[in-house]
Amino acid sequence: MRLVGDGDPRGQRELYDRYAPFLTALASRYLGGTDQVKDLLQDVFIKVFDRFRTFRYRGEGSLKAWLSKIVVNEALHLLRKSDRMLPVENLPEPDSDEDPDVDEVPLPVLQDMISRLPDGYRTVFNLYVFEQMRHKDIAALLGIKENSSASQLLRAKAMLAKEIKEYKYGNGR
């Protein structure tokens, strides 16, 4: 891959073409497939191109991880700025505390279910499940209490379990 930090448009285009689909999916996981994803990706790539000289390439995985971290941080910043996170006192009680069983649920269906979670639930769920963060770290990152992070995760799982059960019932499983 050409260096993108030197302003070479071909290198920038190559980086964009290679990673934009993955980063779009990642941003959609946090923002719920909104129109904000395109704006966020534009801002992310501007930051990437501006900061590329500070990046230390250690292989394909390191670049993907660096890009992912920028997307997640920008998505979280956008969610905090827009006040779309649910305050803890307004959280409804979960209908169930069971872990969702995702067997036989196609990945696109599951991704859609996750994207429809309320912003706070979805954000904590993504950070805990996909980024493998602890509740202590999630709480610090989002500016919430640790038990609020755990509570939102439980509620997210309960909502997903309910939707998965309805999906399976509707599809004869």
pLDDT at 40: 93
pLDDT tens digits for 61-78? Answer: 889 999 999 999 999 888
How do the residues of the chain divide into helix, strand and coil, expressed in percent and rounded to 5?
Answer: 70, 0, 30
Average pLDDT estimate for 43-49: 92
Question: Residues 94, 62: one domain?
Answer: no
pLDDT at 91: 47
160 found inside a domain = yes
Q: Return the closest-CA partner of residue 112 out of 104, 122, 120, 103.
A: 122
4 found inside a domain = no
Write down the mean pLDDT value for the chain: 83
Is the per-residue pLDDT at 86 higher than 60? no
Question: Residues 73, 92: one domain?
Answer: no
Is the per-residue pLDDT at 10 higher than 70? yes
List C-alpha distances in Å: 67 to 4, 9, 28, 92, 172. Answer: 13, 18, 15, 35, 41
- Collapsing DSSP to helix, strand or coil, 116 comes out as coil
pLDDT at 93: 52
Is the per-residue pLDDT at 19 higher than 80? yes
3 found inside a domain = no
Q: Which of 81, 112, 130 is the last residue of a domain?
A: 81
Question: Residues 75, 92: one domain?
Answer: no
Residue 127 belongs to domain with CATH number: 1.10.10.10
140 found inside a domain = yes
Question: Residues 97, 147: one domain?
Answer: yes
96 found inside a domain = yes
2 found inside a domain = no
pLDDT bin (cut points 50, 70, 90) of residue 1 is: very low
59 found inside a domain = yes
Is the per-residue pLDDT at 43 higher than 70? yes
Residue 25 belongs to domain with CATH number: 1.10.1740.10
- pLDDT: which is higher, 51 or 98: 51
pTM, two decimal places: 0.74
The dihedral sign for the CA sequence 159, 164, 166, 167: positive
Contacts of 71 (CB under 8 A, 6+ apart): 23, 26, 27, 30, 40, 41, 44
Is the per-residue pLDDT at 170 higher than 90? no
pLDDT at 123: 93
Is the per-residue pLDDT at 7 higher than 70? no
Question: Residues 99, 152: one domain?
Answer: yes
pLDDT at 89: 46
Q: What residue numbers bound the domain in which 33 lies?
A: 9-81
Question: Residues 35, 70: one domain?
Answer: yes
Number of domains the chain is built from = 2
pLDDT at 153: 93
Question: Residues 98, 28: one domain?
Answer: no
